[in-house]
Amino acid sequence: MSTLEIIIAVIGLTVITVVTRAFFMIPERELPMPGWLRRGLKYAPLAALVAVIAPEILMTQGEFLRTWQDARLPAVLGASLYYFWKRGVLGTIVTGMAIYLPLHIGLGW
């Protein structure tokens, strides 16, 4: 790509980003939103989190896991149990890693 094409691409991407992120701030009054959409948007953060994390846990190199001997599965189970028991994020991370690392490094899972 030439320098001019790169500059045009950066400017275009900047404009698209600003417009899409400021879309709800541009109108002077609040946009009407149906109740079903408002209720549905409550679940958007959870859906996005699952969409990012699930493939990391259940897939490797674009394919589903073929064996249960993967250190990620017991680590996720242990971390989930800890979170539902104590509701602490730091403890959840520590628990998951305390299960994952010995299985992954020690047993080669």
Beta strands in the chain (DSSP E): 59-60, 63-64
Q: Which is nearest to 76 in space by CA: 59, 93, 51? A: 93
pTM check: above 0.85: no
Q: What is the pLDDT of residue 93?
A: 96
Backbone φ and ψ for 59, nearest 5 degrees, come out as -130, 155
CB atoms within 10 A of CB 72: 19
42-85 per-position pLDDT tens digit: 999 999 999 999 999 999 988 999 988 999 999 999 999 999 99
How far apart CA 93 and CA 83 sit, in angstroms, is 9
Using CA atoms, how far apart are residues 58 and 74, in angstroms rounded to an integer? 12
| φ/ψ of residue 64, rounded to 5 | -65, 150
Condensed to tens digits (0 to 9), the pLDDT of residues 77-96 reads 999 999 999 999 999 999 99
pLDDT of 16 > 90? The answer is: yes
